[in-house]
Structures are given as C-alpha cells and as structure tokens.
Amino acid sequence: MSNAPVYEIDLPAFRADPYPDLKRMRAQAPIAHVPQLGATLITRRNDIFTHEKNIAVFSSDQPAGLMTVLMGQNLMRKDGAAHMAERRAIFPTVSPKTVRDVWKAQFQSAMAAILDRVAPQRHADLVADIARPASGEALRALTGLTNMTWAEMDRVSQGMIDGCANYTGDPAVTARCHDCTASIDAHITARLPELAATPDLSLLSVMMQAGLPEPAIRANVKLAISGGQNEPRDAIAGAAWALLTHPDQLALVQGGTATWSRVFEEYARWISPIGMSPRRVARRYETGGITFQPEDRVFLMFGSGNRDETVFARPDAFDITQDCGPAISFGAGPHFCAGAWAARCLIAEVALPMLFDRLPGLRLAGDAPFEGWAFRGPLRVPVAW
C-alpha cells in the first residue's frame, strides 16, 4: 500500500456529495489513501493530467479490477500497442466524420420522436422520460444492438456501472451486473449473423470487419454501453437542470452570446458525469513524497481535478463564461474518451437545443437530487412547460 496520508470518508455522504471531501483532500492531502474505497486518490488536476499519461506506472491493465472481472478485458483496460490497435479498430464508428454524416441525423430523429411523445403531457421527468430514451436510442444505433430496446440499454448500462463501482463488494450488485452482461451477450449473439452478411458503421460491425477476437468485441461493446448510456443521460438531464437553476446562463445561450457546446463543456467540468478512472500501479514509484507500491489501486479523480482552485477561476460555480479548457472530463492521456465526439454531438448539438426549442417555458417542477462519485448524475429532474 502507498504511504499516502489516510483520509477517512463517510461513504453515504461521499456518494451524496463528494465535492466537500475532495476539496479538503486537494488542500490537505492531494494524494490520499481512503480506506473506505481501498484506494489512493489523486485529486489535483495537474497531477492527474501528468500521471494519467505515465502508463508505465499507472497502468490501465487491471486483471483483478472490477471492470475486467465483470465485463471482460476491453480496450480501456489495455495499454500501449494493444490499446491502440483496438482504438484504431473502433475509430470508423466514432470518428468526427461518421458522427456528423451518419449518427447526427439518427440522434435528431430519435430526439424528435421522444419530444413528440412527451410534449402534449406538459410535464415530465427529464431523466426517465427524455434523457434515458435519448441516450438509449443513440446507443442502440452506435453499438449495432438495434435488437435491444432503449429501456434495456439503460438497465444493463446502470447494472454494469453499479457493478464496476461496487468497491464494498455487495453481492446483490454483482449479481445484477452478471444478469446485465448476460443480456448484452445474448443480444450480440443474435446480431452477429446479420452484421456479417450486411456490414455497417456500428461498433459491433466495424470490430467484426477489423477481425478483432470475439471476446474483445463483446468486452468493447459492454464498455461502450457502460459509459455511452449513463454519461449522455446524466449530462442531458443535468445540464438542462443547471440552466434552469441558472437563468442568467440560459439567457446567454438563448440570446446567442454563448453556445450549447459551452453549456455542455462547463457542465461536464462542474459536475463530471464520469468522476473517476481507476489505475493499477505497475512498479514502485515516488512522487511528491508519496511512495506507491506495485499493485496499489489508484483512483484518478477527474471530478476533483475539474474543480481545482489553482486551475479554474470559479471552480464551484456553473459559469459558461469561464475558461473550462483545462477540464479533464474526458480524460487526458492515451485513454481520452473515444466516444467524446458522439457525446458532444448528441448532447450539445441535438438534445439540449431541441429540448429548449420544443418545450417552450420549460421550468423545474420539483427537487432534483444528485448521487454518485465515480459516476454522478441526477436521479430525477421533474419539469413542466
């Protein structure tokens, strides 16, 4: 175990709101061992930015890690040439050109259908009624699992997210995760013959065309679902909530002073939907007076780095006028999120502008509680219009 100073947390309180503890860690112990998580946390932005690139020490290859054990070894859990080979294989699906020319129109069509359905109701839960189906429909197209409903996509994504963040070892959470991965495998198996006969630009198809081994294909589809559903879902509902609770910021966008892209980037900095990425220490390493030992578990706390007081002018404020360029919401090193272009398109170019355009007078209609530290988002956002 590293010799980092110990920082104790109350796990339920940390899950409800991690930011006070993270702020104290940045000030008092920027590299701290948290016994309740069984890991050493790196909390300052520049430290994360530097160490994430040092894959010789902070390795993504984690054979005993929860993601690998529960989902298989995907490209996110590989380093170097093995990682880059699979990243190149999936690029035809997630490239900016494919997102623009293929997926954007499908995102728009799905979002229009969702809004057509909810608009006459005059009220909705942004999470359950709009963000979940919008994210799920987009992911059905991107992955190639068009035989899966958006509701099942959301269910299996959440089940895997919970499993990968189950550092307390709750057996019920693990069982649900296994049920979800089994569902994904069954849907993949059903789609393989059709995509072999009629290839397309979906993730499943391009990996088949690239000749990746089937275990890698299955693991990478699960990876795409685990992050590709919850992050857009939470960012669509969360960013809309942020604008509705900051009418001055909404006025800047609707008045043409700021862009929807700025809204998304600042929201992803302020409340990072993906707040952490784990690493395994591959060899003994010293930094800042801290000695890491081989096999130590390290958490790169993106959500903390995105509120670093030494980097951002107003770190705890949602302010689309401030410079959020240094944010590490999508990572900072070779594991920079491959789905970033698709997420930006879905959220900033499609979902948010269509939401505020099609639901005039959109307003909050109740409390919007948030939860999570590894993955964070609103549990519900009741609205009316």
Q: Within a domain: residue 329?
A: yes
Tell me how many degrees the CA angle 282-287-293 measures, rounded to the nearest 5: 35
- Give the pTM: 0.94
CATH of the domain at 26: 1.10.630.10
Bridge partners (DSSP) of residue 297 are 280
Residues 6+ apart with CB under 8 A from 80: 55
Structural domain contains residue 298: yes
**Residue 4 falls inside a structural domain:** no
The pLDDT profile of the chain, 385 residues, written as one tens digit per residue, is 889 999 999 999 999 999 999 999 999 999 999 999 999 999 999 999 999 999 999 999 888 788 888 888 888 888 899 989 999 999 999 999 999 999 999 999 999 999 999 999 999 999 999 999 999 999 999 999 999 999 999 999 999 988 987 878 899 999 999 999 999 999 999 999 999 999 999 999 999 999 999 999 999 999 999 888 989 999 999 999 999 999 999 999 999 999 999 999 999 999 999 999 999 999 999 998 999 999 999 999 999 999 999 999 999 999 999 999 999 999 887 878 889 999 999 999 999 999 999 999 999 999 999 999 999 999 999 999 9
State the total domains in the chain.
1
Is 1 a member of any domain? no
Residue 21 placed within a domain:
yes
Report yes or no on 5 lying in a domain.
Answer: no
Report if residue 207 sits inside a domain: yes
Any domain includes 36: yes
Beta bridge partners of 59: 280
Find the domain containing 47 and state its range.
11-384
> Burial level of 28, CB count in 10 A (0-12/13-18/19+)?
exposed
